[in-house]
């Protein structure tokens, strides 16, 4: 992960904007912006308020600072970092909760995650625990509208979201849990009810911290 960013405490929209400004400014000029530059760009009154955003980004592991240096802001592995949205929750069980709006953003390292174009979802429920996906974990999802047999997918069933293993048999789709105590969801696609949409394929799991 890049660096130890915690998906349970993602960046706010303003923190993400400040981080992207620092990255763009550094790439254009060859050196990082000062607090005054940040204040002017965002219309922030006083360097103390700008420093709060820098403090938060440093605490979350996106920046490092050199004490006593006016432009001592340094990005951590900026060339490998990909900003990924955290798009709410998904149910690993009977479909109950639709995918919610974006909650924030984290930065993942492409050296560890094939994450460009993906998004994160927080898992609720226990139906996929035998696949190593437990309640409180985050799953990295690559958007796509179809899947191969055996893929773990995020699917919308009548506008409600669930994560399951995907199988297609002719006109029948089975969304299979990885928990022997739970039943699969059978969908006859020829009838079009319930309505099924594949949101994306699960490509990685980020385990919750205990």
**Measured distance CA(179)–CA(51) in Å, rounded:** 48
Looking from the CA of 43 toward its CB, the CA atoms found within 13 Å total 1
Going along the chain from its start, the domains and CATH numbers come out as 13-75 (1.10.10.10), 81-206 (2.10.109.10)
Give the active site residues. Answer: 127, 164
| Cβ pair 82, 88 in contact under 8 A | no
Which pLDDT tens digit goes with each residue over 145-174?
Answer: 999 999 999 999 988 889 999 999 988 999
Which pLDDT tens digit goes with each residue over 92-147?
Answer: 766 554 565 677 777 777 766 778 888 888 898 899 999 999 998 999 999 999 99
| Cβ pair 23, 30 in contact under 8 A | no
**Measured distance CA(205)–CA(193) in Å, rounded:** 30
pLDDT at 62: 80
**Does pTM top 0.95 for this prediction?**
no
Query: Among 5-19, 65-79, 137-151, which stretch is predicted with the lowest mean pLDDT?
Result: 65-79
**Measured distance CA(120)–CA(104) in Å, rounded:** 10
């Amino acid at each position: 992960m890049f660096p130890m960013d915690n998906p349970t405490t993602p960046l706010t929209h303003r923190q993400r904007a400040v981080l992207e400004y620092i990255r763009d400014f550094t790439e254009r000029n060859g050196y990082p912006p000062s607090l005054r530059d940040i204040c002017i760009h965002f219309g922030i009154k006083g360097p103390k308020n700008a420093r709060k955003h820098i403090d938060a980004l440093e605490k979350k592991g996106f920046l490092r600072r050199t004490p006593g240096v006016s432009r001592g802001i340094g990005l951590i592995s900026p060339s490998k970092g990909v900003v990924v949205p955290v798009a709410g929750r998904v149910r690993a069980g009977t479909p109950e909760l639709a995918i919610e709006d974006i909650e924030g953003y984290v930065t993942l390292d492409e050296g560890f995650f094939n994450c460009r174009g993906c998004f994160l979802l927080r898992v609720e429920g226990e139906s996929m625990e035998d696949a190593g996906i437990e309640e409180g974990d985050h799953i990295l999802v690559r958007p796509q509208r179809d899947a191969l047999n055996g893929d773990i997918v995020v699917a919308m069933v009548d506008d409600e979201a669930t994560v399951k293993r995907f199988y297609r048999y002719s006109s029948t789709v089975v969304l299979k849990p990885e928990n022997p105590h739970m039943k699969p969801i059978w969908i006859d696609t020829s009838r079009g009810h319930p309505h099924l949409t594949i949101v994306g394929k699960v490509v990685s799991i980020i385990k919750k911290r205990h």
